[in-house]
Amino acid sequence: MTARIIDGKAEAAVLRGKIAAAVAQLKAAHGVTPGLAVVLVGQNPASEVYVKSKSKAVVEAGMRPFDHKLPETTSETDLLALIAKLNADSAVNGVLVQLPLPPQIDSAKVIAAIDPNKDVDGFHPVNVGRLSSGLPSLVPCTPFGCVLLAKTVHSSLAGMEAVVVGRSNIVGKPVAQLLLAENATVTIAHSRTKDLPSVCRRADILVAAIGKPEMVQPDWIKPGATVIDVGINRVAGEGGKSKIVGDVSANAAQVAGVLTPVPGGVGPMTIACLILNTLRAACMQRGLPEPKI
Ligand code: NDP
């Protein structure tokens, strides 16, 4: 068997096209242009790349970007003051603070300071609680993208065995909650899980969010399973150049039925879901119905 590879770039482009159309409609019908504020503190090169592509996607969707670049030495007090200002600004519908933050700033405090209705990253404890209570909420973008990709393959995830390897607040736990909300039977595995390969082999849908290059081996995968690889790992490539690989072995394609590639799988969907969350937030804040995407 050779797995079908899901083209995350193409899926994200389709999604972004639909979002742009919904934004145009929102502008025409209600005079509302959704706005996303992205706050970057310091000069982490990876964060700078992410922030640039987020702002580009915002503009392409017809939304308004509000970019704030703060120096590495920014105090927690100053960052919290900026967040309070963005919370109060009705032109700003979404607030995203790029993580990681410099050591003098408490990330948990910053996340908790964002208005939950503008929390387009879905990390605020109120949104975490709403998601696990099955209430409508803004949900974390990467997990949202994983589930949307799985749903491009399976019209319903109900009753499927899903195994999520990883239990971080950013990926593992929320992806598990979203799969549960889709009525999958969900197992969360982590570094203390016993006999991880056999737990993984149970999965009709296997989500790898570990951060360990190519850790998931072909014989961990049930033949025909859908494998969503969230991992982004930089490793040494040919000719001294580095390359990006996922958490799943390249040979998994011989066993899986469907596989998301790295790069070009979950990554592009993450940004598209951020834009979708900004649109959803703008509608929620105006008391308008959830956009049909
Ligand atoms: P974390 O380091 O926060 O979490 C990793 C998880 O993997 C932990 O729950 C850990 O278990 C588990 N784990 C680590 N080693 C093992 C092991 N040997 N066996 C089983 N489980 C293990 O990472 P993130 O969740 O933030 O990210 C995961 C990956 O996804 C990374 O490669 C990251 O770069 C990528 N990522 C990709 C995004 C995208 O847009 N595509 C966005 C965000 C992340 P324990 O809790 O027991 O320590």
Q: What is the CATH number of the domain that holds 62?
A: 3.40.50.10860
Ligand 1 neighbour 3 (Cβ under 6 A): no
Domain end call among 75, 98, 115: 115
Tokens of 144: 């949202």
In a domain, 287, yes or no: no
Shared domain for 175 and 251, answered yes or no, is yes
Shared domain for 208 and 100, answered yes or no, is no
Ligand 1 neighbour 212 (Cβ under 6 A): yes
What predicted TM-score, i.e. pTM, was given to this entire model?
Answer: 0.97
In a domain, 159, yes or no: yes
The domain of 67 spans 31-115
Residues 7-32: tens digit of each pLDDT: 999 999 999 999 999 999 999 999 99
In a domain, 7, yes or no: no
- For residue 209, which of 273, 140, 275 has the smallest C-alpha distance? 140
Question: What one-character-per-residue DSSP string does the chain give?
Answer: --PEEP-HHHHHHHHHHHHHHHHHHHHHHH----EEEEEEES--HHHHHHHHHHHHHHHHTTPEEEEEEE-TT--HHHHHHHHHHHHH-TT--EEEEPSSPPTTS-HHHHHHHS-GGG-TT--SHHHHHHHHTT------HHHHHHHHHHHHH-S--TT-EEEEE---TTTHHHHHHHHHHTT-EEEEE-TT-TTHHHHHTT-SEEEE---STT-B-GGGS-TT-EEEE---EEEE-GGG-EEEE-SB-GGGGGT-SEE--SSSSHHHHHHHHHHHHHHHHHHHHTTPPPP--
Shared domain for 176 and 261, answered yes or no, is yes
Shared domain for 247 and 161, answered yes or no, is yes
Res 279: pLDDT: 98
Shared domain for 259 and 147, answered yes or no, is yes
In a domain, 56, yes or no: yes
In a domain, 129, yes or no: no
Q: What is the mean pLDDT of the chain?
A: 97
Shared domain for 259 and 156, answered yes or no, is yes
Shared domain for 102 and 153, answered yes or no, is no
At residue 53 the predicted structure's pLDDT band, cuts being 50, 70 and 90, is very high
How many structural domains does the chain have?
Answer: 2
Shared domain for 263 and 167, answered yes or no, is yes
Ligand 1 neighbour 262 (Cβ under 6 A): no
pLDDT at 1 over 90: no
| Residue nearest atom 34 in ligand 1 by C-alpha distance | 232
Shared domain for 148 and 260, answered yes or no, is yes
Instruction: Supply the residues annotated as catalytic.
Output: 54, 98, 121
Shared domain for 85 and 173, answered yes or no, is no
Shared domain for 62 and 176, answered yes or no, is no
Residues 63-101: tens digit of each pLDDT: 999 999 999 999 999 999 999 999 999 999 999 999 999
Ligand 1 neighbour 267 (Cβ under 6 A): yes
Ligand 1 neighbour 191 (Cβ under 6 A): yes
In a domain, 197, yes or no: yes
Residues 233-275: tens digit of each pLDDT: 999 988 889 999 999 999 999 999 999 999 999 999 999 999 9
Region 148-173: mean pLDDT is 98
Between CA 100 and CA 96 the distance in angstroms is 12
Mutate to test the pocket of ligand 1, among 232, 243, 248 (most ligand atoms within 8 A of CB): 232
In a domain, 290, yes or no: no
Mutate to test the pocket of ligand 1, among 47, 144, 190 (most ligand atoms within 8 A of CB): 190
CATH of the domain at 206: 3.40.50.720
Res 218: pLDDT: 98
Residues 204-215: tens digit of each pLDDT: 999 999 999 999
How much distance in Å is there from the Cα of 17 to the middle of ligand 1?
Answer: 30
Res 238: pLDDT: 87
Shared domain for 145 and 104, answered yes or no, is no
Mutate to test the pocket of ligand 1, among 191, 214, 227 (most ligand atoms within 8 A of CB): 191
In a domain, 47, yes or no: yes
Res 240: pLDDT: 87
